[in-house]
Chains A and B, each alone.
Chain A
């Protein structure tokens, strides 16, 4: 990896400081997405690169500007007579309205320099345009109003150019969803499926013209709209950087775009670089695929309160999956299962839709399943096309799957003909799906039934084959370990003669609660295993990950992490065992089923894992060990649950078993909510118990990440949440080592951890969460696997916990002295939220996780590390005006001294009525702004809209479902207008303390090794 790493915000201020310190010769801007690109452009414009003699490598700034500035972009393409949508740039709302009138509605609004189409969207009329434009100007001072091309096909190319003017297109991709739906929200196939040779090569030729004319060196992505009834096209966008699509294209083709782009930026030519897959040919070629790839975005919209489920021109998805196969039917069914949202494929799901036509017209995250439902209801393909504008070819393929399901329905497990079973497998039906359909969708005893299907197809010799991804469609011999499985083939491409194999299960799609952290764990585990001489086999399907780089492991199966597929691979590879503790909840949930098939599970025994995952068993275990925990009960009936809740007093916490990141974990404040949430929880966790426990608030939350061997704890790290209990640990701001925890508490935590570890005989990574109130410690959660915070604690303490855990699992001696408490510095991990993209979502923290990423920074003390991490997630320090609305009287009092400090620091304070009165009573002056629902000026909303406020501190009144509308409106407005917002009292307090103690200049520029 890098020689030096700075855990600092990627902002011009900090990057300049690093340049000043390190005096580098060159800088690369196109590898860190939009954030890096924007930062680079700002630094260039400010003359920083020139000042310090830093060369921009690869694509130059003027080329970047020509792609990012919409007006320049159009001018540039007009120079070579290429077509862009008719459009004009506007610098104000009024201008935008005027342009739209000329272009005629509907129009598309685009925001310059924006990531993921933030703020962009179609407008059907003037009212909508005004509303969207106003919001857009909050992010940018320029918007582009253009002719809306909704319904056209959307096609992308990844183009590479070297300094010698050699150009290639590495991959083209076609969106299943038409224009109007952001490509990050679209199902995407590669290569294109409905384009003729003329269309494919016409767009390819244009892509090359564009990359040459713009002078890009490295990689770029170009997006087209293609008329579905002629060869007419428009160039929609060019990204002069590696993008989400390039990551996908790299995995889809086996062509390492980022590696090649980096080499090209250093001046290599495409013919200097070998094709790393074949090791016999060159990088100057265009991969030929002999398979199809389908990407589906993963959304987590149900995790947010009040959010809109519709998908459109802004990105809301939080991750994606990629499936590989040799039939579209097969591939899309695989991809749907990979989403891991309880769907079994295109069919055999229990879903109902009220208004199919409306759902077809206004797509939501469930659109694929709506199409299936429509076909089943007899809606014609033509009609579905009219409503969705999804090319009929895709619809016909979906119809094939529906047809096969209908066919299956007339048989049972006992009498299904071999040919039909084979066809179903070739079309991507899982054993589970087939078993479910053949038993007339009776979902009982599924494990037994799917095993019946498994043995039936083995009897018929219907077994998937392993195929290689070799970039050349088998034209040349290739030494590639990049693999997928399919039923559309007769022969394995590889042999299974190696011994010493270990399978590591990956983490699947990024989603709320499982992001790159688990992938880091998988990769580090693989690295350790490889170093120790094992043959590593990785299974994962997330194209955004490092674990799916084929050079990380010895064999990469880019395939499903399902019981069925893991077993298929296990049977072929015959490994020493399977590591299941690195990839988070998906592998964890397979443990018991795999164990029942005698799969060798490495590390902590499956029985122990079950004892920790099953809420009932775990709570009983704690009781038997005399370890304190919040009062709990297993929810067997509504009546019992309510009685319990009344006894311990609402609010109570509802917790299903075997789930990650608090899916369906909720706080119920009354009987009605309890009823509603219990139902939701039961849906998520059918086979496992749901437990209700007393929600403890106003307590500290503390976590321990540790590695044990044969029950003995070898290394641990204790982190402390800044927020009080009640905020999901994934959303919490964490400090390591703990700053406010008593030594006595730490001692108790260590004792409890030892007890649990010994009793569960843990071998490998684990994580326990505690709450501490007045020196009373209660255990609230325990996972016998790597947790989200393993990379954080490894990086802060500089001990690689995963390396140790892997060695522990292998039985190696890892005894040693590991100092993780007495550090001279502090690490702070802060969550990154994406509320601005989730229209209407309430930006508030609760027991269910909502953040989509995280950052970690180091500092000499808590305040420094905390400020750095806050700046890293895009927080802008306030200059003068702060709006306060500090919630219930307890938090008002809690924050009083902080606010006094703000006042003393010279900030202008604005407050809602109650807060203002409270402040006045305590001798702090503030100006009243009226509640949003009061139609009275000066109003909070007006001040927010006019961007007169630099920071909003809004502490919610209660945890009740019925949030006060006023509070919601303030928070939402702040998010929509990109105004920094703090909603947690502890964080607000720490923030005020930090800015009162530290100025920007006090934030030290130190690399990791210097701490």
Chain B
């Protein structure tokens, strides 16, 4: 490569094309099992390690990269053409960055097949490369991401590292550290404090901004609190437990706090990690999936309710499952073990493909949670109605 690139380039086309390649140092991805994938660097020029996960969504890289659930993870995008529409600006709306799911890129690094050096979009302010470099995030392109995905699928999520140039690094495992602490806010923030508004406490375990936007959009005041905050001393109408990274069992303080809230019959809505925390707080158990769900096309079937909480859904079929199915966006590696919960709880949704739990609800009390992201961004918007249901639960 080097020999070839040092040849003198005389015409302008060549400058255009190979200028980019010339800037792109050789890079590789090394999995913990020793498997290697060659590519070129297009982000920050340093090596890094983390847990390697993939997502099969075809749009939404700015949203995914800023999703705190990816903290500690190296993200592989299976859609091969990335960077096409650049990166939008950092405008602030309602105290939140308008175009991103958190204040910064959360992934350890990014892996793609074909990176678009040129981008085109009215809303773009910079290229993906510029953004990655600004935020000091390594990235690699030219990888056979399909081979990589198949490896991860078969062997389960693995640790790995991206080596840029010759700089080696040690393997880092985000699943054994209290990673939620790193992504949660340090002090409470209140959004849209208005008299007469109902108020919800949102436990930030690495929250995506669109959860907050969805609550604000429905006329609520949102008190966003750190993951280990003792919110029971405050006055509020409902509780939201956010998404977040890592093993839910590591969020001991959050589980404890939520457990206490349940005793007070506070209307509760859990999302993603929040589903698992609610389960653990209710005395249940969680486990790591062989195939995590990381895509924008997961079908979730509504389970027949035994109570009357099914407002808005069509009449149920005589079987356990209804005929209603929703396409959801997901990003999780752990799941709720339905059998571990007491019979006061029932399954809310199940995954149409692998039958794993996709949500739980209490048979008599206003507690519900789902394993996916009803706030979407990125992904389909079909289940935003769950926020409406939550508002209805608030007395």
Contacts and interface: CB of A to CB of B under 8 A. Distances in A.
B329 to A, nearest CB: 9
A493 interface: yes
A208 B382 contact: yes
A407 B17 contact: yes
B297 A271 contact: no
Contacts of B378: 197, 201
Counting chain A CB atoms within 10 Å of each CB, which of B13, B58, B78, B79 scores highest? Answer: B58
Interface size, A (range): 35 or more
Residue of A191, A286, A402, A405 contacting most chain B CB atoms (<10 Å): A286
B60 interface: yes
Contacts of A286: 296-297, 327, 380
Interface string A381-417: 0000000000111001101101111110010000001
Interface string A158-196: 000010111110000000000000000000000111111
A197 B16 contact: no
Interface in A259-297: 269-271, 280-282, 284-292
A396 B146 contact: no
Given A229-B122, A475-B295, A491-B144, A403 B323 contact: no
Contacts of B120: 194, 391-393, 396
B13 A406 contact: yes
Given A326-B114, A406-B11, A271 B323 contact: yes
B177 interface: no
Contacts of B79: 191, 288-290, 473
A228 interface: yes
Q: Give the one of A284, A402, A419 with max B CB within 10 A.
A: A284
Nearest to A393: B120
A284 B349 CA distance: 14
A771 interface: no
A490 B144 contact: yes
Contacts, number: 200
Interface in B63-106: 63, 78-81, 84-85, 88
A475 B327 contact: no
A282 B297 CA distance: 11
Contacts of A393: 84-85, 116, 118-120
B314 to A, nearest CB: 6
A111 to B, nearest CB: 33
A46 interface: no
B294 A166 contact: no
Contacts of B14: 403, 406-407
Nearest to B114: A327
Contacts of B18: 407
A818 interface: no
A402 B13 contact: yes
B59 interface: yes
A204 interface: yes
Interface stretch (B147-155, B156-164, B222-230): B147-155
Contact of B380 (A166, A204, A326, A488): A204
B4 A285 contact: no
B374 to A, nearest CB: 13
Contacts of A287: 297
Contacts of A404: 17
Contact of A285 (B3, B57, B150, B327): B327
Interface in A457-473: 465, 467, 472-473
Contacts of B191: none
A405 B17 CA distance: 11
Contact of B352 (A201, A281, A403, A488): A281
Contacts of B380: 201, 204-205, 286
Interface in B101-132: 113-114, 116-123
Residue of B3, B62, B299 with most chain A CB atoms under a 10 A cut-off: B299
Given A164-B323, A197-B377, A282 B352 contact: yes
Task: Give the one of B56, B123, B150, B325 with max A CB within 10 A.
Answer: B325
Contacts of A935: none
Contact of B147 (A327, A397, A476, A490): A490
B214 interface: no
B257 interface: no
Interface string B153-180: 1100000000000000000000000000
A290 B147 contact: no
A767 to B, nearest CB: 44
A491 B147 contact: yes
B297 to A, nearest CB: 4
Given A392-B118, A393-B84, A288 B57 contact: yes
Given A228-B122, A488-B113, A489-B146, A195 B323 contact: no
B323 A474 contact: no
A201 B294 contact: no
Contacts of A229: 122
Interface in A197-251: 197, 200-201, 204-205, 208, 228-230
Interface string B11-40: 101101110000000000000000001000
A324 to B, nearest CB: 11
Contacts of A284: 299, 325, 327, 352
B11 to A, nearest CB: 6
Contact of B80 (A290, A410, A419, A465): A290
Contacts of B80: 290-292, 326-327, 488
Contacts of B377: 197
Nearest to A327: B114
Nearest to A192: B59
Interface string B280-299: 00000000000100111111
Contacts of A443: none
Interface in B368-395: 376-382
A113 interface: no
B301 interface: yes
Nearest to A288: B56
Contact of B81 (A193, A196, A288, A489): A193
Nearest to B315: A164
B149 A473 contact: yes
Nearest to B117: A396
Contacts of B37: 490
B52 to A, nearest CB: 14
B16 A193 contact: no
Nearest to B301: A271
Interface in B224-282: none
A510 interface: no
Contacts of A328: 81
B85 A196 contact: yes
Contact of A489 (B58, B144, B327): B144
A486 to B, nearest CB: 9
Contacts of A420: 4
A997 to B, nearest CB: 57
Given A271-B352, A288-B295, A288-B297, A201 B149 contact: no
B381 A205 contact: yes
Contacts of A938: none
B59 A476 contact: no
B308 interface: no
B363 interface: no
Interface centre among A327, A403, A473 (most CB of B within 10 A): A473
Nearest to A289: B58
11 contacts: A167-B382, A201-B59, A205-B382, A208-B382, A285-B297, A288-B295, A393-B118, A396-B117, A406-B11, A406-B13, A475-B295
Q: Considering the complex of A and B, which 7 residue pairs feature the smallest CB-CB distances, nearest first?
A: A197-B60, A403-B17, A396-B118, A473-B56, A406-B13, A288-B56, A393-B120
Given A165-B314, A281-B299, 10 more contacts: A164-B314, A196-B85, A196-B123, A201-B380, A228-B122, A271-B301, A288-B295, A290-B79, A396-B117, A489-B146
Interface of B: 1, 3-4, 10-11, 13-14, 16-18, 37, 54, 56-60, 62-63, 78-81, 84-85, 88, 113-114, 116-123, 144-147, 149-150, 153-154, 291, 294-299, 301, 314, 321, 323-327, 352-353, 376-382
